[in-house]
């Protein structure tokens, strides 16, 4: 039974898509308290630079993401690793008051933000640069054979309020899919997008 499996086994399940939904839920049941304790300790309710409730709403995603990255060979227990990930997330939210057009969390490895560049470069300071890149990304998405990809990206990044992401729980609800199913499709598309952007923009200044 899932509830008798170790954290190492559960993370192995996530990484290899074996009973992944049940494994994720078990990890959430076991470790959400640790995650919430750290968020509450590191982010005050009145913090102007961190959207505390947004982080809490995404707790399943963050535990899932930690499960995918966890490596027992590094010597730390999963609970310790998750705690460190939560601390990093909180500190990153606090010290980097970013405004993203796409993905303001570790899920995206090509976060598009509007922060001013240190260099005096008219192209980099042009607010339309991110919009152009966003268009390129959705051009790639439109060609994806799985039509759920477009819906996931639209709900997650286009429909929500400015500078906020639609929580995965809500994305899954709208698509009538599990949270993990949505995240898996999303992450698979991210790899394709990154590959296409690198191929088409080898000297791109965009961060992804």
**Is there a contact between 105 and 58 (Cβ–Cβ < 8 Å)?**
yes
Lowest average pLDDT, out of 16-20, 24-28, 112-116, goes to: 112-116
Report in angstroms the alpha-carbon separations of 66 from 7, 9, 54, 177. Answer: 12, 14, 17, 21
HSE (side-chain half, CA atoms, 13 Å) at 47 = 21
Question: pLDDT at position 175, please?
Answer: 92
Residue 203: band (very low, low, confident or very high) from pLDDT cuts 50, 70, 90:
very low
pLDDT band at 141; cut points 50, 70, 90: confident
Distance CA 174, CA 158 (A): 14
Instruction: Give the per-residue pLDDT at 117.
Output: 33
pTM: 0.55
pLDDT band for position 47 (cuts 50, 70, 90): low
Sequence-ordered strand ranges (E) for 78-124: 100-102, 112-113
Least confident of 58-62, 90-94, 112-116: 112-116
- The sign one gets for the Cα dihedral 179, 182, 185, 189 is negative
Measured in whole angstroms, the distance separating CA 160 from the mean position of its chain's CA atoms is 15
CA 120 from chain centre, in angstroms, equals: 31
Instruction: Tell me how far apart the 2 most distant CA atoms of the chain are, in Å.
Output: 59
DSSP output for 59-91: HHHHHHHHHHH--GGGS--HHHHHHHHHHHHHH
CA distance 198 to 203: 8
Distances (CA, A) of 95 to 49, 85, 131, 140, 150: 7, 15, 25, 32, 32
Q: Which fold has domain 1-97?
A: Rna Polymerase Sigma Factor; Chain: A (1.10.1740)
Check residue 123 and give its pLDDT: 36
Domain residue limits, the chain: 1-97, 99-208
Which pLDDT belongs to residue 57? 87
């Amino acid at each position: 039974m899932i509830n008798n499996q170790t954290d190492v086994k559960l993370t192995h399940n996530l990484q290899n898509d074996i009973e992944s939904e049940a494994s994720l839920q078990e990890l959430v049941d076991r470790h959400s308290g640790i995650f919430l304790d750290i968020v509450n300790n590191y982010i005050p309710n009145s913090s102007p630079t961190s959207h505390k409730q947004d982080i809490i709403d995404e707790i399943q995603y963050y535990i899932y993401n930690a499960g995918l990255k966890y490596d027992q060979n590094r010597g730390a227990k999963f609970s310790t690793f998750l705690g460190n990930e939560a601390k990093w997330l909180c500190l990153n939210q606090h010290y980097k008051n970013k405004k993203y057009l796409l993905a303001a969390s570790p899920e995206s490895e090509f976060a598009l933000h509007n922060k001013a560049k240190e260099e005096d470069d008219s192209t980099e300071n042009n607010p339309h640069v991110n919009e152009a890149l966003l268009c390129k990304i959705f051009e790639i998405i439109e060609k994806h054979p799985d039509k759920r990809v477009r819906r996931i990206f639209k709900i997650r990044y286009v429909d929500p309020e400015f500078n906020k992401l639609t929580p995965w729980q809500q994305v899954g609800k709208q698509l009538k899919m599990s949270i993990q199913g949505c995240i898996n499709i999303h992450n698979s598309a991210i790899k394709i997008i990154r590959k296409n952007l690198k191929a088409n923009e080898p000297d791109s200044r965009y961060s992804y």
